[in-house]
């Protein structure tokens, strides 16, 4: 998604209820995998304490997934990510809007059961339709959008790899080569500066 499309999806999700809003914002703002978001428990969300000594930023521990035996895709996929303000705010609203025992899943159905991929896809497509960007999108494209937006903001591919839990930046470059536009255009941009006067 472009930045404008991502902003439209966020606005649409906000009008669709706190559960899908928090899911969309967390996925888009941190780049977590869909199977990592669906396995997230409240005990792994730290809302931080900026007035503490030392101050503590809001964060989320991405240590499990809905894969076999709860394992993340790779060992490097286990990571703790600081939460952008929008994600921390969306999770706070979700926490305050529903009754959650401490070990409970963050994202669940209205009956309290674990979300499956079909639940999330259906809700996400409705959000995208309401946002006016069509229904072809899937929740995993939130992760792709995160990579694209980070790359467009000149974040180094090595740092992006750490955010998304890849074993190396080579994996990120291979899987997300279409999203890593600045890496592909830097040479042309530099040569335009150097050779521009000759054009």
Contact 24, 124 (CB under 8 A): yes
Q: Using CA atoms, how far apart are residues 118 and 113, in angstroms rounded to an integer?
A: 13
**41, 44, 50, 51 alpha-carbon torsion, rounded to 10°:** 90
> Where in the sequence numbering do the catalytic residues fall?
33, 73, 143, 166, 176
101 HSE (CA, 13 A, CB side): 3
Contact 44, 37 (CB under 8 A): no
Residue 29's nearest CA partner among 152, 154, 145, 158 is 145
The DSSP secondary-structure symbol of 76 reads G
**Of how many residues is the chain composed?**
199
């Amino acid at each position: 998604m472009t930045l404008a499309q991502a902003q439209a999806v966020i606005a649409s999700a906000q009008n669709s209820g706190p559960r899908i809003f928090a899911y969309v914002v967390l996925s888009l703002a941190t780049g977590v995998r869909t199977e990592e978001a669906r396995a997230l428990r409240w005990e792994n969300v730290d809302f931080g304490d900026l007035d503490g000594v030392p101050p503590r930023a809001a964060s989320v521990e991405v240590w499990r997934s809905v894969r076999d035996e709860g394992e993340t895709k790779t060992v490097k996929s286990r990571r703790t990510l600081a939460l952008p303000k929008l994600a921390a705010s969306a999770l706070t609203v979700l926490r305050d809007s529903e009754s959650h025992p401490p070990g409970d899943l963050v994202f669940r159905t209205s009956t309290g059961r674990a979300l499956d991929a079909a639940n999330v896809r259906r809700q996400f497509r409705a959000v995208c339709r309401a946002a006016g960007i069509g229904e072809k999108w899937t929740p995993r494209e939130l992760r792709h959008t995160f990579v694209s937006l980070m790359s467009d903001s000149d974040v180094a591919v090595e740092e992006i790899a750490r955010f998304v839990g890849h074993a190396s930046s080579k994996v990120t470059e291979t899987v997300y080569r279409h999203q890593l536009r600045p890496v592909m255009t830097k040479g042309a941009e530099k040569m335009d500066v150097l050779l521009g006067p000759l054009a």
